[in-house]
A and B are shown apart, each in its own frame.
Chain A
């Protein structure tokens, strides 16, 4: 058609190469990806909030769950996770410094700042792995009732938590191990707890210094402590021994807490892990001089955006899992 007349001005607008938002294509797409990823995390955290509001009276208290610091014994809530938060913010800072050095085309500075960022990320992922293994291994042990509620134990005189090993008696019994020759449908042996239900119950009856603590949070914001009489009555509901946490059982309280903990910190940890990998790739590109030849360090800026986003998400995970 002859009517398609192109004037110079139209070529400028529609001819390509325009940046109405003032950023390059790659950076814009990184931003859009981050927006969608932010919505994914928001969905997870909102679901967590949903379950928590549903069981607002019996949700585990984070300060009583995450109390360990590597290489130290004792009860230090918050300290280690505060350290992790600081490491991640610090690695965010070295990342901004790398981007800043990239703008000034200082190759060596970018290399060192990227290196520091990767180390920070690795420390964080390692810390999270340690946090997971501590959580999975468990602390004091507890009993689970028929309704799936958790009963924990407290020493009456000191008010401290009592571990199962503090009071459980040892009752010798024969445990027959199921072997593959005895069944056509052989499944792996399930893991057994260090004490049987019977041993814990008998030990509880023998030791008058032990009380039961239920999941219910009282008006002072603490878990409800039963007296000796009602403790013994409650004990009749117990169905099995729980040590540590997994997706089905959780000695710290409602199992949803463990599910969301694994799911959200796991998803975040996976982001950190892939962030470290991407950082390593870019790190080698910087060393090889790829961006020096390209004339700009925008790739460093793009992975930087991703890395800061990981930090941003952690700020929210920290608040909703450990603080609130």
Chain B
């Protein structure tokens, strides 16, 4: 565990003096994102709800992207993947990402099909 920490986040835009400072900086960033999510979740701006992108509300896309951003900073700075070898990082990150995208794609397409069966087919469920 020879540990030099990489102290830059946002691709070198912000550079911290010590690891402790970086931790507090990341906390501030994560808190900000959570606050934005909560405010958006309470306000639900009409424009974000009415606009659809790939069949889903833009607001939901924003939530999912912000979640992935949060996940990235938790894994990179709290679990200090940033300081690990690239080979370890890739083995840990790309394996689940590939499998999850595969699973989610199959299940959601299938679910949408079943939804259409309920809707247009001769299946009675609302009684």
Contacts and interface: CB of A to CB of B under 8 A. Distances in A.
B96 A35 contact: yes
A187 to B, nearest CB: 29
Nearest to A102: B1
Contacts of A96: 23, 77-78, 80
Interface in A20-63: 20-24, 28, 31, 34-35, 38-39, 42-43, 46-47, 49-57, 63
Contact of B34 (A42, A57, A82): A82
A100 interface: yes
Nearest to B40: A323
A155 to B, nearest CB: 23
A42 B99 contact: yes
Contacts of B88: 21-23, 28, 31
A107 interface: no
* Chain A interface helix/strand/loop/mixed: helix
A22 B85 contact: yes
B127 A145 contact: yes
A308 B73 CA distance: 11
B42 A92 contact: no
B49 to A, nearest CB: 6
Nearest to A31: B92
B92 A35 contact: yes
Contacts of B1: 24, 103, 296, 298, 301
A110 to B, nearest CB: 13
B104 A49 contact: yes
Given A53-B108, A86-B31, A96-B77, 18 more contacts: A23-B88, A39-B99, A42-B100, A49-B104, A53-B112, A54-B111, A63-B41, A63-B42, A89-B27, A89-B30, A97-B23, A103-B1, A149-B127, A296-B1, A318-B67, A319-B66, A323-B60, A324-B60
Interface of B: 1, 3, 19-20, 23-24, 27, 30-31, 34-35, 37-38, 41-42, 49, 60, 63-64, 66-67, 70-71, 74-75, 77-80, 84-85, 87-88, 91-92, 95-96, 99-100, 103-104, 107-108, 110-112, 114-115, 118-119, 124-127
State the 4 A-B residue pairs at the shortest beta-carbon distance, nearest first.
Answer: A53-B111, A147-B127, A21-B88, A22-B85
